[in-house]
Amino acid sequence: MIKGERAKFIKSHLEKIYPRTPIPLNHDNNFELLVAVLLSAQCTDERVNKVTPNLFVKANDPYKMDSLSTDQIYQIIRPCGLAPQKSKAISNLSKILITKHNGEVPSNFSDLEELPGVGHKTASVVMSQGFGYPAFPVDTHIHRLAQRWGLTGGKNVTQTETDLKKTFPKESWNKLHLQIIYYGREYCTARGCDGRVCEICKTCYPNRKKSFKANKA
């Protein structure tokens, strides 16, 4: 298979398995989404979804969050990795949203990426899932799968994002990135597939003899 054929098969296969792509992180507004995505760094979505109800019942907007101390935030989000840094980031970004954005989550990459604890990937998720803007958030998981499936030779997530955007039509980006995440968790895990086990890997590379080693992000 050439790259275009692999991309076509992957997109079709994922659409069959995941015709619907609910957002993994539970939230009721874009501020909650922003905080949940920030918390998900080096933490599972399942754990985030267990933690955020206790946080959002106290503070589901920047004004209420700003009324909490950093330590109060920390005590709630402790089960998440990097909780000390994340509690400070949540507190500080809430203040910035109030002072610079009238308490609203900005709907553009530049303003989002200026917020504490918010990198390009987090901003991409918020733009995609919160505002419906075409984006292709790429984390280390998608980076690894894109290499394994021959969609990129990128050595980092930035290069991989560029390659995926060139490979797939813009109107598919928001859904496709979630489909890849779901598939990776269920069928093409780090331990469960080495590039020769799951249906996508076997179809794209039927003659692959050795396990595939992906470049780290």
CA distance 26 to 20: 16
The one catalytic residue in 61, 66, 86, 139 is: 139
Which of the residues 61, 66, 86, 121 is marked catalytic? 121
User: What's the rounded Cα separation, in Å, for the pair 72 and 40?
Assistant: 19
Three-state DSSP state, 4: helix
104-112: list long-range contacts, CB under 8 Å, 24+ apart.
105/30, 105/31, 105/33, 105/34, 105/130, 107/131, 107/133, 112/34
Active site residue 139: yes
121 catalytic? Reply is yes
Cα angle value 186/50/62 (rounded, 5°): 120
Fill in the amino acid letter for 152: T
Catalytic machinery residues: 121, 139
